[in-house]
Amino acid sequence: MQVNRLSHGGRINRARALSFTFNGRKYQGFEGDTLASALIANGVSLTARSFKYHRPRGIVGAGVEEPSTLVELMGNDASANRPVTTVPLKEGLIAKSVNCWPSPAVDIGAVNQLFARFIPAGFYYKTFKWPNWHVYEPSIRKATGLAGTPQEAPDQGHFEARYAHCDVLIAGAGPAGLLAALTVGRAGLRVMIADEGTEAGGSLLSRKLVIDGQPAMDWVAATVAELHDMPNVKHLQNATIWAYREHNYLMVNERAPENASLLERHWRVRAGHVITATGAIERGMVFGNNDRPGVMLASAVQTYVNRYGARPGKRAMIFTNNNSAYAVAADLAAAGIEIVAIVDSRDDVPEVARAVVPDLEVVAGSVVTQAQGLRRVRGVSVVPRSGGVSRTYSCDLLAHSGGWNPAVHLFSQSRSPLIYAEGPATFVPDTPAQSVSACGAAEGQFELSAALHSGAETAAELCEGPALTPPEGEDLAYAIEPLWRVEQATGKAFLDLQNDVSVDDVHLAIREGYANVEHVKRYTTGGMGIDQGKTGNINIIGTVALHQGIGMDEVGTTTFRAPYTPVSFGAIGGFRDESVVLPYRHTPLTKWNMDQGAFMYEAGARWRRPGYFPHPGEGLQEATNRECEAVRNGVGVYDGSPLGTFELKGRDVGKFLDYLYTNIMSSLKPGFGRYGLMLSDDGLILDDGVCLRLDEHRWIISTSTGHADAMNSHMEELLQTEFPDWNVFVTTVTSQWNNATICGPKARDVMVELGTDIDLSPEAFPFMTFRDGHVAGLPARVVRVSFTGELSFEVNVAPRHLRALWDKVLDAGSPHGILPVGSEASHVLRVEKGFLSLGHEVDGTVDPFDLGMGWVMSKKKADYLGKRSVHLRRDGPGVRRELVGVIPDPDRMIPEGAPLTPRGEKRPTEGFVTACVWSVVHKRWVGLALLENGHARHGETAQVRLKGGELIPVRVTPPVHYDPDGEKLRT
Amino acid sequence: MPYEATFDRLATQALFDLKGPARQLRDWVGELLPEFPEQANSGTMTGGKALYYIGLDHWLLRAELPEEQALIAELRPADAPPDISIVQISDTQAYFRITGSQADEVLAIGCPMNLHAREFGTGAASFTEFFGLRALVTRCDSGFDVAVEQSFGPMIEDYLNRALR
């Protein structure tokens, strides 16, 4: 039973009833309702508890300004901390109040009210300091609990994030915004208009106004229709512009896109110009117990009556300092709500205001000092401002208006300053810092006609030709005498209802030295959170001004921050979910690998690579051992495609490579290759790889997989900043050359079996050379390099041929027992050989000498990148950590990264284990480590100290555990 | 209502990365190529070959794959003088064609560039970002071609399928 639903009126569809559940009870509303209007229609007035004191709260506003009632939506609509006024009603909606347990009516946390005087602003900062805040944090968060984020994504639908561009972006589809859109739309500019409401009209939706002699909403409908027909205009409703960044880059959250599968759409808009036609937000009056359920903003009451046909009370008092509340009173009276009286703090109430409600009692020059009642307002105490006897009025609704604040949030986010205007007694936009302008109520033009003119004129400045002649709107003249707080207030008088910040809190902050308004904000939390100063800020500023005896302009405003209203994380993330939550790269063999049941993971630079190929019943170790055995004793093949590959061309490539690498590359003959190290400016190893010389001016270099992009940038930076005159062109060809690397003692047999026009004999095709030719009938470049320590042929082909080559290799290798080899086996094989790996032995702290690779530091070259730094460091007294082999004794695995400490004592480490693998050659665990003065300690026993103090003795050895002379790879 | 657009992953395109001053490149390739575009981020087309101006002294030649061998023979990358660089990069790019009346809306999900016909009209070609990746976007009949590094092809396919749900 919708006990407070008016018999007629409102922009709701009474033919479509909707069932919903709130705090476990079932109710009904209508299509077009918000959850707030439906609750009001059902007579639910106690809807929340306050953030800190757990005071009973009701619905205060009707839009994004709602400071009191936040709800958590459940089920597929799961969403936390939504202002109840911004939740469109839908069939089956389930919602509950936040910040109360078990319910708003019976809330355990309400006990806080007993201790309210002991927990003022700043209480947390002063109290919960020892041993540290985090000890108390969980229980405090729970006690002041807002709802948590949903644990699971919605069952259906998805989010989308996208970009957009326009000449003019208009925030708000109220009268000023619509007329601005019409103006620039007719001028042919690309226009985007975004409005947070479910339908266009802004304040006109809540008021009974007339434009050009017709109901204002008729003008809205005609304007929207004309905009709809313009191909250059994009009009979004349910779309909030929630952030304004640099270079006119704005964020829009669209909550009900036309695509039914979309939950929300996030727009990142780059606009040539922005017009903020964001309207205005009513501020409340500050008096005792101004937070009781039934104490509402006057404009919100008007909205519920006019737009939703819902009656927030039966017997209303009005408290105001400005004219707008008189129009509200008139609308309420017309709807059959008894108006007890209008309390106006002004001594002289303008006649134009009185004329709107000639039959109502106006108590001029008086203020409400306190709202009476606990869970619902039952009456108000009123006294003359000049002093005198308090009078009590019985009522169940208090509609109050402290005036209007332009919604300057976006304008302020653009870093444009605000200025205090005495006339409307509020802060209004000042000089734009970006290409932005404000119009309508957002500019401080609170009367309809002025707002329309403002919209037309602001837009006309962006167009050529004269401005549109705006239609005439009829509205009550706006006049105000500011009242920042009722000085005679009794009881807690709240400035910021959302954060439970009272007048006393602000006074306390100032007494404690936090006099600047930014400090007041941080001390009290006033204006923080999702409120962002929508209702409370200016009253806080006014309270500070009064307390310090200075002007509003001297106090100034705090910074308005994004988001203007809460935004779903999902909308910001867009598609980045599930399989595309992180980027991934495939080679032409990725699908084959997965089809074979390979265990896949990312192995640098987003490449998905096979870790190992388990047979049924095998784990990682068994499969890895099997693959290693194949390479050491027979033959294996791996996909080496992700290795970074670059073609360098030009007269100065040799000179450039000599600078880039520590050793000499320019002396290479065509057809030959050389391994090298690259250093950073500070002489630490940056990357390693092989250079191949194709001809006099063309080279191919390889880099590690993970550093390919970084090395490309590194080379380009050097060429563009250090050597702009050098003739060197760099082209990335990583994905032009994929390779299958055949490795093992029987690799040559497999190559022969494949068929090739290349002479494979060691004499004709030695180690560190390459040949172009055909392999298995495919054009190929074969390189004799080895990353396993075995005879290897790296067969490079175009990716379009890799899958065919792979199949042929497996066929040709089948008689030799060839196996595909994953990254795990490759890791074991390189550890046995003592080959370095970026991220293991090369961790950003080592130079070539540390790794026993001093031979790669050319003594012939006058200079190369990092040379000076290496020598400066090595000439110093510092002890270096050097690469050694380690043999655990007893034979057991050591975790990678395990620290080595002097004699195993609990002391600063002297190194760490970089890798430890089961060696198929030695049939035991072997490892590598970086150890202080390691090169001089071969034969010693060092101690690995695990977490908890367990010690593992390790024998220190040279780092090459297998084929130290490299005979096998040169076979 | 999902977007009115579809996408296809195109077969490998014949692609050549050309670097160096336009005059030297023109001297080397003669009449083989379309006119060198004079405006950056634009392209010219002749006889099924497109030439895009994609950076300072940097061009991209695109043709259908069957043309690849003929182009190699005529461009002679290995013999080109050191002042210019010609590198075959056909396999480095995965090409996607997105067409339909709302192709631009689909592009806008992944691409921050202003693709309105007034800003990015016929013949336009630009490197930009597509779903976080470096991508070359060009216009085609009733839509756009997007080229990304080949290894990211499956991921872009994944993204586009999501966009068109």
- pLDDT of A450-463, one tens digit each? 999 999 999 999 99
Q: How confident is the model at residue A145 (pLDDT cuts 50, 70, 90)?
A: low
B19 CA to chain A: closest CA distance, Å? 7
- pLDDT of A913-952, one tens digit each? 999 999 999 999 999 999 999 999 999 999 999 999 999 9
What mean pLDDT do residues A860-874 have? 95
Q: How confident is the model at residue A536 (pLDDT cuts 50, 70, 90)?
A: confident
Q: Which residue has the tokens 């939706």?
A: A205
The predicted pLDDT at position A412 comes to 96
Give CA angle at A546 (A540, A551), nearest 5°: 95
Residue A133's H or E segment, with its range, is helix A133-143
Instruction: Give the integer Cα–Cα distance in Å for A494 and A801.
Output: 74
Q: What is the mean pLDDT of chain A?
A: 95
Instruction: Give the integer Cα–Cα distance in Å for A39 and A333.
Output: 22
What mean pLDDT do residues A353-379 have? 97
Residue (of A245, A306, A265, A293) closest to A11 by Cα position: A306
| CB A900, CB A889: distance < 8 Å | no
Residue B164 near chain A (CB below 8 Å): no
Q: Closest to B91 (Cβ–Cβ): which among A259, A268, A799? A: A799
Do B78 and A694 lie within an 8 Å CB cutoff?
Answer: yes
Maximal C-alpha separation, chain A: 115
- pLDDT of B81-109, one tens digit each? 999 999 999 999 999 999 999 999 999 99
The predicted pLDDT at position A488 comes to 94
Tokens standing for residue A309: 């046909």
Tokens standing for residue A856: 């790669």
Q: How confident is the model at residue A674 (pLDDT cuts 50, 70, 90)?
A: very high
Q: Closest to A733 (Cβ–Cβ): which among B3, B92, B112? A: B92
The predicted pLDDT at position A637 comes to 98
- Provide CB contacts within 8 A for A664, sequence distance 6+: A658, A858, A860, A861
| CB A858, CB A657: distance < 8 Å | no
Instruction: Give the integer Cα–Cα distance in Å for B66 and A506.
Output: 77
Q: Closest to A580 (Cβ–Cβ): which among B87, B88, B158? A: B158
Cα dist from A393 to A107, A296, A339, A379, A802, whole Å: 29, 16, 11, 5, 88
What mean pLDDT do residues A8-31 have? 97
Do B133 and A698 lie within an 8 Å CB cutoff?
Answer: no
A461 CA to chain B: closest CA distance, Å? 22
What mean pLDDT do residues A214-229 have? 98
Q: Closest to B82 (Cβ–Cβ): which among A162, A584, A651? A: A651
Cα dist from A246 to A169, A355, A414, A430, whole Å: 15, 48, 7, 18
Do B87 and A694 lie within an 8 Å CB cutoff?
Answer: no
The predicted pLDDT at position A146 comes to 78
Do A694 and B1 lie within an 8 Å CB cutoff?
Answer: no
The predicted pLDDT at position A112 comes to 83
CA A787, A788, A790, A791 dihedral sign is negative
B129 CA to chain A: closest CA distance, Å? 11
Instruction: Please tell me the least confidently modeled range out of A87-91, A257-261, A563-567.
Output: A257-261
Distance of CA A72 to the CA centre of its chain: 21
Q: What percent of chain A has pLDDT over 70?
A: 100
| pLDDT over 90 (residue A259) | no
A107 vs A351, more confident: A351
The predicted pLDDT at position A298 comes to 98
- pLDDT of A698-721, one tens digit each? 999 999 999 999 999 999 999 999
What mean pLDDT do residues A800-809 have? 98
Q: Closest to A731 (Cβ–Cβ): which among B85, B133, B165? A: B85
Amino acid at A554: E
Q: What percent of chain A has pLDDT over 90?
A: 89
Residue A729's closest chain B neighbor by CA? B85
| CB A350, CB A375: distance < 8 Å | no
Give the DSSP letter string of A508-546: HHHHTT--SHHHHHHHH-TT-GGGTTSSSHHHHHHHHHH
Q: Closest to A697 (Cβ–Cβ): which among B82, B109, B131? A: B82
The predicted pLDDT at position A959 comes to 97
Chain B (22-81) residues lying within 8 Å, Cβ to Cβ, of chain A = 78
What mean pLDDT do residues A335-343 have? 98
What mean pLDDT do residues A250-256 have? 95
Query: In B, which residues are within 8 Å of A157 by CB distance?
Result: none
| CB A166, CB A191: distance < 8 Å | yes
What mean pLDDT do residues B124-134 have? 96
| pLDDT over 90 (residue B36) | yes
The predicted pLDDT at position A846 comes to 97
Q: Which residue has the tokens 């030719």?
A: A773
What mean pLDDT do residues A128-138 have? 86
A129 vs A567, more confident: A567
Q: How confident is the model at residue A165 (pLDDT cuts 50, 70, 90)?
A: very high
Query: In A, which residues are within 8 Å of B114 by CB distance?
Result: 165, 270
Residue (of A174, A252, A176, A197) closest to A63 by Cα position: A197
| CB A169, CB A241: distance < 8 Å | yes
Question: Beta-carbon neighbour count of residue A647 at 10 Å?
Answer: 24
Do A800 and B12 lie within an 8 Å CB cutoff?
Answer: yes
| pLDDT over 70 (residue A162) | yes
What mean pLDDT do residues A406-425 have? 97
| pLDDT over 80 (residue A844) | yes
Residue B83 near chain A (CB below 8 Å): yes
What mean pLDDT do residues A92-114 have? 88
Q: ipTM value of the model?
A: 0.97
Beta strands in A472-517 (DSSP E): 473-474, 494-496, 501-502
What mean pLDDT do residues A780-796 have? 98
| pLDDT over 90 (residue A963) | yes
Residue A189's closest chain B neighbor by CA? B118
Q: Which residue has the tokens 């003692």?
A: A745
The predicted pLDDT at position A342 comes to 98
Amino acid at A13: N
The predicted pLDDT at position A144 comes to 66
